[in-house]
Structure 1
Amino acid sequence: MNVSTALRILKEQGYKYTEKREDLVTLFAKEKRYLSARDVLNHMQRSYPGMSVDTIYRNLTLFTDLAILEETEWNGEKRYRLSCATQSHHHHLICLDCGKTRHIDSCPMEAIPVGETGFEVTGHKFEVYGRCDECQAN
């Protein structure tokens, strides 16, 4: 996903364009990693000193609902990143130090025999947490 695609989705879904929303999406496009709401608030308050945490959460929720952002949770805190541009099925390796992600194309669901259980799988999420090579070197 890129900034123009995200803004187009907002417009198509009936949400108005604001400079703050564009700046928020641009932040995620530049970062290429998971960010906490606190990270986003700290960044946005540099340009918009009066911006509240409620505004941040409201927009993070909206962007997640519209699939502009992906959401995960670690250490009891939700984190967000711009949705992947690829439409192919994949999962992520996530660095717990810097938050950067890498795609992995294999899927562990193929090895789980859920078909024999009578359970209908409607979706799944698989993430591997650790430390990237750059963070290990530091």
Structure 2
Amino acid sequence: MELNEAVQEIKRQGYKTTTKRKDMLRFFAEADGYRTAKDLINHLEPAYDGISFDTVYRNLHLFDKVGVLETTELNGEKHFRISCTHHHHHHFICKDCGKTKEIEVCPMDEVRQALGNYAIEDHKFEIYGLCPVCQKA
């Protein structure tokens, strides 16, 4: 998803698209991988002196609810990235830097077969490790 698509989705669902919200979304749209709320606050502080954690977390929760951000948990902390909506795929996520790499393989055919008559509503498949750059560091 691109920045403009995210902004339009927020509008479509009846929420305001303030300059601050656009700046928050721009941060994630330009990021290479998952980022934390703290990363976002550090990015916003020069432009929004005294921005509160509450404001940031409230907006991150809204963005997740609306579907313009994806979330994952790394090292016990919630991380966010702009949603990927163009095709079905999964991610390798670097535990150090948060960068992601798309994985086109999906194990759901085997899982559906193994679960037989269970009603699967959704799934998320992530692989965690170190990217080549972080392995060298």
TM-score of the two chains, using structure 1 as the length reference = 0.92
| Identity percentage of aligned residues | 47
Unaligned runs of 5+ in 2: none
Q: SS of 1:26's equivalent?
A: helix
Q: Which residue of 1 aligns with 2:109?
A: 110
Does the 8 A contact of 2:75 with 2:95 survive in 1?
no
Shift of 1:11: 1.3
Whole-Å separation in 1 of the counterparts to 2:108 and 2:133: 29
One-letter amino acid matched to 2:12: E
Q: Which residue of 2 aligns with 1:13?
A: 13
Shift of 1:85: 4.2
One-letter amino acid matched to 1:53: F
Does the 8 A contact of 1:32 with 1:82 survive in 2?
no
1:41-52 alignment runs, 5 A limit: 41-52=41-52
1:1-138 alignment runs, 5 A limit: 1-86=1-86, 88-112=87-111, 113-116=113-116, 118-138=117-137
One-letter amino acid matched to 1:100: K
Change (3 A) 1:109 1:85: closer
Aligned length: 136
Does the 8 A contact of 2:33 with 2:100 survive in 1?
yes
Unaligned runs of 5+ in 1: none
One-letter amino acid matched to 1:134: V
Cα RMSD for the two superposed structures: 1.3
Q: SS of 1:10's equivalent?
A: helix
Whole-Å separation in 1 of the counterparts to 2:12 and 2:109: 36
TM-score of the two chains, using structure 2 as the length reference = 0.93
